[in-house]
Structure 1
Amino acid sequence: MGVTYEQAGALAWQWLEQIARVSETEDPESEGVTRLCATREHRAALDLLGGWMRDAGMTVRVDNGANLIGRYASADPDARTLIMGSHQDTVPHGGKYDGIMGVLLPLALVHYLNDHAIALPFHLDVVAFSDEEGTRFSSTLLGSKVLAGSFDPVMLGAEDDAGVTLRQALLDFGCDPERIADDRYPPGAALGFVEVHIEQGPQLEAEGLPIGVVSAITGIERHKLSIHGLAGHAGTVPMHLRQDALVGAARVIGLVDELCKTTDELVGVVGKIDNSPNGVNVIPQRTDLTVELRSPEDATRLAARNTLLARIEAALAALDLRLEHQLIYEQAAVQCAPALVAQLEAAVAANGVAPRTLFSGAGHDGLAMQALCDIGMLFLRCARGVSHHPDEAIEPDDLSVVVAVLASFCMALAESADQPVA
C-alpha cells in the first residue's frame, strides 16, 4: 500500500526531534537550538540530512556556498527544476522548527513519492540553505544568494567574533569560495521556488487553520534618529524651559505606534534606545533610537515613512529639539507569484482546508530566490506565534497536512505542463 501522508508527516516529526539535538546547546528543550554556518554542527546537520535524502532516492551534493542540495530526478535529464527548501541555520538559542522544518517537509514529500514510485516530469530539488539568519557573519541570505546568482564576493571578507573570515570558514568546510559563481541555477532552469515555514505569528492558530498561503514577503526599512536637547539639573530647570531629548523620544514612540495602528498592512517598532547622559537627576541631552517599518506593499511603507518623518519633525520642533535622521537599511517587498499562490491555494482546498492568504512580516530565502524564479510560500501555524525562542512549538499532525498539500501541488503542476505523472 505504501507510506501514507500521516506516516510521512510522522517521519518528519522524528527527523525534527533528531536534528534539534545537533546544536551547540546541550538541551534544545530549555536552551533552544544554536546551529551556525560552516561549523561542526552545520556539518553534522548536513550529514544527517544527506543520509535521509539518499534513503529517499535522491542524489546529494554540497555546493561552494555550503548549501546541501538533494535531487529527486526526472527521467528527462533536461527537465526544469522545482526547488523547495529552507535554511538549516538558527539564531542563538532558537527554536526547533524555524527554517529546518522547511527542509524536512519537502524531504518527507520525496520519501512519499519515492515509496509510491511516483515519477515527476521535472526535477525536484530540496535545499538546506547554509545561512539565512546571518548570525555568524552577518551574511544574511548567503545560501539563497549563491543559488540565485546574486552573492556579492565582498561578503567573503566578513569576519565572525573570533576574526575568522567567511572565506576561510567556507574553505575549512570543504568549499571553494572562488567558484561560488558557478553554483547558481542556469537562467530558465528553475520552474519556481516554494518554501514552507512556521508562521512566526498568531493568525493561523487564532483562526484554527493548520496552513496558510503567503502572498508577499514584507518590505523593511530601518532608521536611526538622534534627538538633541540640552542637559540641565533636574531639580532647578523649570518644566516649561526644558529641552528634554527623552521626552522627544517618547513622542516619537507614540507617533510610530499610532501610525502603524491606523494604517492597514503596516507594522513598526522603536526597538533600541540610548540615552545620554543617562543620569538619575540630569535632563537628557541626547537620545538615539531606531525606527523600523514593515509592509508587504512598498507604496504603503514609503507613504508611511513620509508621514511619520513629517509628524516627528513637527513634534520635535514644538519641543525646541533638534533632529538628526539617517536611513540605515531598506529591503523592498517581494510579491509571491500569483500563479503559484493560486496553485497552492487550490492544493490547500483540495485537502479539506479553507485557503487563507496572508503576508509574511519576516524575511525569508525567497527574498533572494525571486531574482532566479517565481516564488511561493506556505505557512504552518505555530503556538502563540512564538519564534526564535526555545518555546517554539507546532502541532505534529499539521505536518501530514503539509505533505499532502505539497503532493497535490506537485501533481497539479505536472498536469498543468501536459506532462502527466507516471
Structure 2
Amino acid sequence: MSHKDSMTETESRAAKVMQRADRMASFSETPEHLTRAYLTPEHKLAHAQLASWMLEAGLETWQDSVGNQWGRKVSANPTMPTLILGSHSDTVANAGRYDGNLGVLLALEALEALGDVELPYHVDVVAFADEEGTRFNTTLIGSSGVAGCFQPSWLEVEDANGVSMASAMDSFGLEPQVAGSDSRVDEEILAYLEVHIEQGPVLEAQNLPVGVVTGIAGAKRYEMTVKGMAGHAGTVPIGLRQDAFCGVAQMVTEIENYALEHDIVATVGKCEVLPGAVNVIPGEVRFTLDIRSLSQHQLETCCETLLEKLAAIAKLRSLSFESRNIYQAQAVLCDEVLQHKWANVVEKHTQQTACFLPSGAGHDAMVMAQVANIGMLFVRCDKGISHHPAESVTTEDVSVALDCFIDMVQSFAP
C-alpha cells in the first residue's frame, strides 16, 4: 500500500468517526439540545449503538455493573495483560458532540483498523457511563466503578426529580446491589490511554493538531460568605460603611493577582449580593472560588495562603469571613514513559515537535490512575470552546489523532 493510499484510508476512517459523532449526538434528552445524562433512556440507546459498532469491529462486548460499555480485541494468549482505551459517553446539559465521545469513537476506530493485526495483549475500549455528573452531581461514577472506588452511598443520591441512583440503575437494567463489584483492580493492566478534545486554546494558538498531556490539575472549590452591615445608600458616608461587596471586590482582585503571581488558575464563578436592592448597601455576599494546579503541593499551599489573605481583607474592613470547602480532586501526573511514547507518534505523523501541555479539566484518567499508568492525547478544538454546542474539531485533526492512536496501541508490543 502506498503512503498516499494509507493516508486516504485514514482520512476515510476519520470521516467515519465524525459521522458517528453526529449519530451519537442524536441520542439526546431533547432534539434541539444535546443532553445525555447517566442511566437515562437516551444513554441506554447510545450504548446499544456503541455495542453494535463494537461487534462490527470484531470485538467482544459487555456492559459492566455501573453501566460502562466495553469492547475487547482479544489476544491469542488469554493470560496476557490488557491495554485499556477510553473516555466517556455522557454529556453536560446543552453540550457539544465531541467532549468524551470523540475519545471513545477514536479508540473504537483504532481497534477496527487493527482488526487483522495480532497483538500480544488484550485491548479494551470503554465508554465510561458518567464522567460529567450531570444527573446526580456526583462525577466520575463510571471510572470509579472500574477503579474500585465506587461509593455505595452514591446509590442513595437523588436527581432533580427525586429518583435515586439505585432506582435509575434498576430501570437501566443494572443490579445496584453489585455496583462496582466487577472492578479491574486485581487485573494486570498495561496502561490506560485517553484521547480527548483539548477544551482550551493552546493547540490552536500554536497551530498544532494534537498535543501530549503532562497531567491533570488538582482542584479545590469553596463557598465563601462575607458579612457586613446593610444600610441606606444615601445616608451612610462611604468611610463609615461595612460594605460586604466592596470587600469582596478587593478579594476578587487579590485572587486574580495571586493566581498570576503563582502560576495557578483561580475563578470566582458565582456571586450573590444581599439584600440585592439598588438603594441598599450590600450587607452580605456569597461567592464561590475554584482553584486548580498541576502540583498538589502548590494547590494546598496556595489555597491556605489565599484564604488567609481574604480573611485579612475582611478583618481590615470590619467584615466577617467564612469559607467552606465543597469539592476537591487530587492532581494526577501522566506517566513519563507514556508521554514520550505519545510524543514519538505525534512527531512521526505531524513532522513537528510535540507540544506538552497540562489539562485544567478533569477526566476519567484521574480515577484510572489508581489502577494503571495513564497517558493522554489532546486534539485541537475550535477556539478552545467546550461544554457548548459550538464545540468543533476538524476531520483533518481527527485523522492525525487516529494515526497517532493506531501507532500508540501497537507500541507496547516487544
Alpha-carbon contact 1:196-1:380 (below 8 Å) kept? yes
Q: Which of the numbers 306, 309, 313 marks the counterpart of 2:307?
A: 309
Q: How does 1:302-381 map to 2 (within 5 A)?
A: 302-351=300-349, 352-381=351-380
SS in 2 for 1:413: coil
Query: Which residue in 1 is equivalent to 2:384?
Result: 385
Distance in 2, matches of 1:305 and 1:162, equals 35
CA RMSD of aligned residues (A): 1.3
Q: Counterpart amino acid of 2:323?
A: H
Instruction: Tell me which residue corresponds to 2:246.
Output: 247
Residue-by-residue CA offset, 1:35-62 (whole Å, 9 max, x unaligned): 1111111111111111111111101001
Counterpart of 1:125 in structure 2 is: 124
Is the aligned partner of 1:22 residue 2:1?
no
Matches within 5 A, 1:135-146: 135-146=134-145
Amino acid at match of 1:7: S
Q: TM-score, normalised by structure 1?
A: 0.94
The residue that corresponds to 2:109 in the other structure is 108
Instruction: Return the alpha-carbon distance in structure 2 between the equivalents of residues 174 and 233 of structure 1.
Output: 60
Is the CA contact 1:25–1:93 (under 8 Å) kept in the aligned structure 2?
no
Shift of 1:276: 1.4
Task: Tell me if structure 1 keeps the 8 A contact 2:146–2:185.
Answer: no
Aligned counterparts of 2:144 and 2:215: Cα–Cα separation in 1? 19
Displacement of 1:339 in angstroms is 1.3
Which of structure 1's runs of 4+ aligned residues deviate more than 3 A? none
Distance (Å, rounded) in 1 between the aligned partners of 2:142 and 2:93: 19
Structure 2: runs of 5 or more not aligned: none
Check the 8 A contact 1:64/1:170 in 2, yes or no.
Answer: no
Structure 1: unaligned runs, 5 residues or longer: none
Q: 2:68 aligned with 1:63, yes or no?
A: no
What displacement does 1:258 show?
Answer: 0.9
Deviation at 1:186, TM superposition (A): 4.2
Query: 2-side partners of 1:182 and 1:226: how far apart?
Result: 41
CA distance in 2, matches of 1:37, 1:237: 52
> 1:188 Cα shift?
4.3
Q: Displacement of 1:78 after TM fit? A: 1.1
Structure 1 equivalent of residue 210 of structure 2:
211
d(CA) in 2 for partners of 1:148, 1:302: 25
Task: Give yes or no for the alignment of 1:10 onto 2:15.
Answer: yes
Cα distance between partner residues in 1 of 2:96 and 2:352: 26
Task: Assess if the C-alpha contact under 8 Å between 1:8 and 1:111 holds in 2.
Answer: no
Range with bigger deviation, 290-299 or 311-320: 311-320
SS of 1:109's partner is helix
Contact 2:219/2:293 (<8 A) preserved:
yes
Greater mean deviation of Cα atoms: 173-182 or 100-109 = 173-182
Matches of 1:405 and 1:111, distance apart in 2: 14
Code of the residue aligned with 1:279 in structure 2: it is A
Structure 1 position 182, deviation (Å): 2.8
Contact 2:272 2:287 survives alignment (8 Å): yes
User: SS state of the match for residue 98, structure 1?
Assistant: coil
- Aligned counterparts of 2:287 and 2:66: Cα–Cα separation in 1: 35
User: Residues 255-276 of structure 1: CA distance to partner in whole angstroms, max 9, x if unpaired?
Assistant: 1111112222x10111111111
Letter in 2 for 1:244: D
Q: Give % identity.
A: 41
**Which residue number in structure 1 is paired with residue 76 of structure 2?**
75
Q: Which residue of 1 aligns with 2:412?
A: 413
Give, in whole Å, the separation in 2 of the partners of 1:206 and 1:402: 18
The CA deviation string for residues 124-152 of structure 1, in whole angstroms up to 9 with x for no partner, is 10001101101111121111000111101
